[in-house]
Chains A and B, each alone.
Chain A
């Protein structure tokens, strides 16, 4: 068992809207990532995936507010830190974050190398520009980016190239955790593949110790991460290895999600796609008990009556449902 890189215990955060209403977007999330592992987070839009990413950084700015819970990065609890300290001491070296539109974050008037100098100088003001250039060049060549990119402006690069450049810049300090929130969704399939390959390289070469990959595209998660975690209405409903999650889902919501996967492979045309009826609950007033119960075809009246326990199986899998593992398999068999 590797060293735990990121541990989150019962994290709760909320959004406050302009009309002063609370939205509980992350409601009691616990997770653990070991060194060299990657975790995928899947779920419908509005389930709190992106809020989870922002919350994990400990970088709280209105309208996002911290309520309770611990975020422990490599043995250091960052949950109570001030945003300024987080920016100086955590971002870049401990945690790096890549949003979906990261490529638009590059100031078009500056050369790429300037961004790298900025990032490094925050943490090591004495490093000379020459050293930085050498470091950046080496890192870029390992990651398959041409070294000329360093001397270019952002406008001269294509979208996929920009996105990869941003990833390379934000991981230049070899962070312990990389949080990528839909890093490839806005790109063409070819660029997407390059981004994915780059992230795999970063993991394999040890430039990042662990990774959280957030996306709604399940085939992508299956190919990128070791474990997958499914979120629904601010809570984690199931967690397990990628293979188990895709081919043997336990929670009814996960099953519905996996049933909607479409890939261009033989036999897929004959698969019947499953659709989950209804819409996700409003997180301003989350339903009591099982949050999925109103849309779940296996739901019983007890489901909405009580808090649903998180069941942990011996092989490390976790799921949130009142049914036992055997019962679930039985029910699915009989369909």
Chain B
């Protein structure tokens, strides 16, 4: 399937975020344009402070856009007012970096999952039905729901918590998933599980996954499209192969150069 045929999902024109004003004005995201297509995995790569988290919050609608326009499914996004926001959030969901702070530690795992079912309008379903849905979601991420009932999230390991987050997404079935560094705080072995599950989500429910990361290797492994971000601007974007194996922008080249290699010699002299 070529790019042209894929339906538009999220597009941005001159999206900008400015914090503060006057002398203290900082431009976190500076007139960025993007075009995310349905069913793709898009990586936004940048170092810390490049504005990628700010961009992700704008995409989620958690903070306002200072300037520019975000288009959702081809038409301008309108999320003013609580009701419209709620409607929008049925289409976009997120997984955050730190699994330990992503859960309300006073709520049990059951209530986390039940909440998702309720949000999808399954409030009045019989409990057996809900139980089935929750078990299904848990088995999707290789967890056993029976072992999780009546447990608190903090009793799980970081990897398991992040998988539970994916189970949550599986239940919510949004059109877009925004994954903000979902693997940076968990172990390398658990990392591959998470990545596999994200790929599976894309394949099974044709979800668009926006994957935000600082690890260019991860971006290369998982994504179809890569956007490289530096100081609030996209310096390069394109299919993963082009962007990372044959980079054009200086910044991308440097970024790739700075990551340790295994198959090639890692050139330490260029610092």
Contact = CB atoms under 8 A, between A and B. Distances in A.
A197 B269 CA distance: 8
A264 interface: yes
Contacts, number: 108
A197 B240 CA distance: 29
A128 interface: no
Nearest to B265: A223
Interface string B171-190: 00000000000000001111
Interface in A170-223: 188-190, 192-194, 196-197, 200, 216-220, 222-223
Nearest to A243: B262
A114 B165 CA distance: 48
Given A190-B271, A194-B271, A273-B195, A263 B188 contact: no
A279 B142 CA distance: 12
A44 interface: yes
Given A222-B260, A222-B262, A260 B255 contact: no
Q: In the complex, which range does the number of interface residues on chain B fall in? A: 35 or more
Contacts of B260: 196, 217, 219-220, 222-223, 263
Nearest to A222: B262
A45 interface: yes
Interface in B206-261: 214-221, 240-241, 244-245, 254-256, 258-261
B142 A277 contact: yes
B259 A279 contact: no
Contact of A262 (B190, B215, B258, B268): B215
A265 B263 CA distance: 7
Interface residues of A, number: 39
A162 to B, nearest CB: 15
B191 interface: yes
A190 B262 contact: no
Contact of B157 (A193, A200, A273, A279): A279
A193 B221 contact: no
Interface string A224-249: 00000000000000000000001000
A256 interface: yes
Nearest to B264: A265
A228 to B, nearest CB: 12
A273 B221 CA distance: 10
Interface of A: 44-45, 188-190, 192-194, 196-197, 200, 216-220, 222-223, 246, 256-257, 259-269, 273-277, 279-280
5 contacts: A218-B188, A260-B191, A263-B260, A265-B263, A273-B196
Given A216-B188, A259-B192, 18 more contacts: A45-B187, A188-B47, A190-B254, A193-B258, A194-B271, A217-B188, A220-B260, A263-B217, A263-B262, A264-B244, A264-B259, A265-B263, A269-B220, A269-B240, A273-B196, A277-B142, A279-B159, A280-B157
